[in-house]
Structure 1
Amino acid sequence: MKKAISIGEYLIEQLHAHGVGHVFGIPGDYVLGFYDQLAKSKLVTMVNTCDEQGAGFAADAYARMRGLGAVCITYCVGGLKVANATAGAYAEKSPVVVISGAPGMNEREKNPLLHHKVKEFDTQKKVFEQITVASTVLSDAQTAFQEIDRVLHAALRYKRPVYIELPRDMVFKTGIQYYRPEEIHEQSDTETLRAALAEAEAMINKAKKPVWLADVEVHRFGLQDVLMKLVHKTNIPVATTVLGKSVIGEQHSFYLGVYEGALGRDDVRRYVEGSDCVVMLGAFLTDINLGIYTAQLDPMRTIYANSEKLSIRYHTYENVRFKDFMRGLLKLRLRRRKLGKIPTPPPIGSFRAKAGNTPVTVKRLYQRINDFLGENMMVVADVGDALFGATDLFIRHRTEFLAPAYYASMGFAVPAGIGAQMANRKLRPLVLVGDGAFQMTGMELSTAARYGLNPIVILLNNFGYGTERHMQDGAYNDVLLWHYSKLPEVLGAGKGFLVKTEGELDKALEEAKKCEHTFCLLDVQLDPADRSPALQRLAERLALGVSSARVV
């Protein structure tokens, strides 16, 4: 007979059972009881961040690395600050558990005006219902355990965030144990799956130049091994989207590069768009994935499969699960081909710092970073040219590139680097962030220092919102110039570098590589009018009038 445990203890046990070893957040009076349980637990470690949004971004990155993440905050003043990060996790299918403390059930009688309350006691829950796949208030000890299991199952099933509200007078109440039957997993309709696979087999085998286009859901649903087996079985080359970058390692001979319309390399774009059978696996047809709608993909030459839709040419198949379809592809009699000449990533080791006071350009910065990346590093990119430029970087292993490449919330990268390193302490994050985004969440480097983390943060300092300047310029795109390299003096930790020339960049990166005990911050000052090759490619293509995508 199982021992009686409290609702809070059960929640911690279930988080741990699903792979959560760290919970990010900030305490507040409505959640202090649960925080105390977390602090005393031997199953999870509580990570206090500087701000709730930073905690949300860290939990999101942790979830992308480990399969589930968790953030714990107080009612409304904390919960609503983490709503933006939760929305990003929902948009990009990252399973984050949002745990919010709340006024006790006995405090809610007669609807009093308690501190942190906005409108009604369920206002915060209503907000989160819009940006999560499941939500609950643990208001009844008899059903609390079942509710915890229900929402955690939803997070894992749909790879999206969930919301658990924990009233403070329920934390220590003993829950009711119940017999849990084996989880029921939805099944594909057998006949529909068979018909879809038959059409896919015929289309792929008939094609002269097929290509796999892998996106983020291949990672979210743990299907990287299936993808690799498909590629090895068929010798069909594979490209990824920017959101799916690093879903496989990029060192393989069959890897084309990142396809993103005009944003991507032209040789990759021509190869993918010239294919007579593009098999899009786990793909999101977002504007950024499609190169701001410059992609040209003919639906008649496309197989499009993800967790929400399966279509082959113009045929749509209902009730077919993405996992079943991908595993079914592996069982088909797909003919093996000779791997012909395909685009390859640019060579590494080509950077040599120019002598004298040669200013750093965005293009040369990324060339140097490409040479600098090592086996034990991962890349975390913020939005803007930090993201666009990073798409050309060479990522050696799976899931070593993280970016908010669809929701595109500024301020993601620094706290995400913290979450990523907590998820895998063997990897050292290289964080790419613009100065505008850094001013939002960059002080989370304090959290990195507190927990002994050592990210290398490369700050692209172009004195404002650089990407927006290329859309429409004005004084509103300027930000106050901080002395970023002096930040370690404020925090009493870390090492800062001011970088203006290629020689200074070379020296700073080599010193940062050796400095393994703390974070390093490189303030790389760039011309405000400069831009990455990826952004330049987009501008040139748009100038030619390629402004709308043709896609599924």
Structure 2
Amino acid sequence: MKNGQNVGQYLIERLYELGVRHVFGVPGDFVLGFFQQLVESKLHVINTCDEQGAGFAADAYARVRGLGAVCITYCVGGLKVANTTAQAFAEKSPVVVISGAPGMKERVKNPLLHHKVRDFDTQLKVYEHITVASTVLNDPETAFREIDRVLAAAQRFKRPVYIELPRDMVNLPGDTSYKAQYKEETSDPDAMEELLSEAVNMINSAKKPVILAGIELHRFGLQDTLLKLVEKTNIPVAATILSKSVISERHPLYLGVYEGAMGFEDVREYVESSDCLILLGVFMSDVDLGIFTANLDQAKSIYVTSEKAMIRHHTYEEVRLQDFIQGLLEADVKRHELGQIPHPKPPPAFSVKPGEKITVHRLFQQLNAFIDDNTAVIAEPGDALIGGADLFIHGATEFIAPAYYLSLGFAVPASIGVQMANPNVRPLVLVGDGAFQMTGMELSTIARFRLNPIVVVFNNRGYGTERPMLDGPFNDIHPWKFSKIPEMLGAGKGFDVNTEDQLEEALHSARAFVEGFSILDVHLDPHDSSPALRRLTESLAKRVK
């Protein structure tokens, strides 16, 4: 800590030390002083059109870089970010929510200040339910310690945290005698030794072990360790929808995405017939498990996450996921002999049928052929996600989607976060027309900061995912001329797509145009969908009728 450092400066310094380089947000009077500090710092401020867009961008940034930050004003901004923070909590994305607030001196006698909802701690109480740690920096003597406490929680649990910054605290000096003490948690050595012993014996006794790699391997940066383990043991690995791209899909030991009855039958049969299923960092959610059509036998499973560890029906306390995987890597796990295994096939060259009306199936085939090593696919909930799970992804951490919480409006603002976090990738955004109408005008932010995603709008005139479940006028939306948006913004290029040859030409032109965004308005039949989505909606329909 530098001598004389104030509360705002210390928060900025700690964010920078933890790898944050961009802060997303929308200013307001209760947070203007801190915004001024931000623009004078080494961090870059990315102010978006709307707070929800900032929240989704910070979430995506955290998924790629390891920690994200969003900064907004009190209540009118903070409560708009509640939904994106809830998603980050549900899917373990470590976002630091920084909210300005009325000064402590302004709160005397409980006045009716603008933006206040009920009490001055109303917003705090909301965030206590959707973050893993929260604080109000109401005392400069304890502010540095509180900042470190909540940031440590974000790092430890990979979930969002909340920091409320009263505006009269921003420039106050903190405790000059404070010295940060960072203590990394470790596993209980006795519990870990016993866990590893039982796991190694079970794996070595198995004839057909399989690793199911979950989303926590993304969050804790364990992809390289997983790869070493897979290659040492020759054990094949599958991903879930939420963790898709946790390992390169080109890897010879990669089976594909396991998603119960929603997925490919050969992958399902191979995983479910395993006599030793090693689940690492997996969320046992309804979507990841194919709306609970998965048939996984606990008596044949090793299940380890950042929060619990189980072998068959035995539980172990105080063991860390990263320590367990590293322990397996160092243990005497024998190398297994493999027969033939399922493996995703690289997409063949796409043969265009000129003048043929584009369908969802052919759209995904053409997109599959279009994706290259520099593409990061960002998929919106709906057919963009469910059908997109079958796309062939070339690299690691290059398929990003809210596949558990499933909040619409994620994909377009998420492309901002992804490209800021990794400028070397070009986002391919797959988004429905309904979801685009929620947050798609963050294209204005994209234009301002000269980003260049390729946005493919699945224009099926409404909420296509819901129509097979229960249709009605509530699934219809007003049609937009999406390809005309660049004219309004004075930036980007738009393409109106009805046929396969028009799609081929638009994708080719979009790839060549690197100076800004491209948006493709792909017109689809309202009742057309991918086979995977049909399987999903048939199951969900039974629950809503």
Counterpart CA distance in 1 for 2:539 and 2:78 is 42
Contact 2:383 2:533 (8 Å CA) reproduced: yes
Instruction: Kindly report which structure 2 residues correspond to 1:41-440, keeping only aligned pairs within 5 A, or say none.
Output: 41=41, 43-180=42-179, 182-355=181-354, 357-440=355-438
Residue 309 of structure 1: how far off its partner (Å): 1.4
Residue of 439, 442, 446 corresponding to 1:441: 439
User: What is the letter of the counterpart of residue 88 of structure 2?
Assistant: A
Partner residue of 1:494? 492
Describe the superposition over 1:517-536 as per-residue Cα deviations: whole angstroms up to 9, x where unpaired.
Answer: 00000011111111113223
User: What is the letter of the counterpart of residue 24 of structure 2?
Assistant: F
User: What is the letter of the counterpart of residue 323 of structure 2?
Assistant: D
Residue 338 of structure 1: how far off its partner (Å): 2.4
Give the secondary structure class of the aligned counterpart of 1:467.
coil
User: What is the letter of the counterpart of residue 363 of structure 1?
Assistant: H
Counterpart CA distance in 2 for 1:539 and 1:243 is 18
Describe the superposition over 1:284-342 as per-residue Cα deviations: whole angstroms up to 9, x where unpaired.
Answer: 00001001111111111111110111111111112212121111111221111223211
Partner residue of 1:27? 27
Contact 1:254 1:339 (8 Å CA) reproduced: no
Residue 179 of structure 1: how far off its partner (Å): 4.3
Describe the superposition over 1:465-502 as per-residue Cα deviations: whole angstroms up to 9, x where unpaired.
Answer: 11111111111111111111111111111111111110
Counterpart CA distance in 2 for 1:200 and 1:35 is 50
User: What is the letter of the counterpart of residue 438 of structure 2?
Assistant: M
Counterpart CA distance in 2 for 1:154 and 1:168 is 24
Partner residue of 2:16? 16
Contact 2:88 2:95 (8 Å CA) reproduced: yes
2:520 is aligned with 1:532: no
Partner residue of 1:550? none
Contact 1:70 1:96 (8 Å CA) reproduced: yes
Counterpart CA distance in 1 for 2:4 and 2:422 is 33
Contact 2:191 2:319 (8 Å CA) reproduced: yes
Residue 381 of structure 1: how far off its partner (Å): 0.6
Change (3 A) 1:541 1:80: closer
Counterpart CA distance in 2 for 1:446 and 1:537 is 36
Partner residue of 2:7? 7
Partner residue of 1:37? 37
Q: So what's the TM-score if we normalise by structure 2?
A: 0.97
Residue 440 of structure 1: how far off its partner (Å): 0.3
Residue 538 of structure 1: how far off its partner (Å): 4.0
Residue 349 of structure 1: how far off its partner (Å): 2.5
Residue 182 of structure 1: how far off its partner (Å): 3.9
Change (3 A) 1:340 1:535: same
Counterpart CA distance in 2 for 1:362 and 1:515 is 25
Give the secondary structure class of the aligned counterpart of 2:140.
coil
Contact 2:144 2:178 (8 Å CA) reproduced: no
Q: So what's the TM-score if we normalise by structure 1?
A: 0.96
Residue 130 of structure 1: how far off its partner (Å): 0.4
Counterpart CA distance in 2 for 1:419 and 1:183 is 28
Identity rate of aligned residues, in percent? 64
Counterpart CA distance in 1 for 2:198 and 2:468 is 45
User: What is the letter of the counterpart of residue 121 of structure 1?
Assistant: F
Change (3 A) 1:542 1:11: closer
Counterpart CA distance in 2 for 1:231 and 1:81 is 42
User: What is the letter of the counterpart of residue 382 of structure 2?
Assistant: G
Contact 1:264 1:537 (8 Å CA) reproduced: no
Residue 51 of structure 1: how far off its partner (Å): 0.4
Aligned length: 543
Give the secondary structure class of the aligned counterpart of 1:222.
coil
Contact 1:22 1:422 (8 Å CA) reproduced: yes
The root-mean-square deviation of aligned C-alpha atoms, in Å, is 1.5
Report the more deviating stretch, 64-73 or 333-342.
333-342
Report the more deviating stretch, 397-406 or 330-339.
330-339
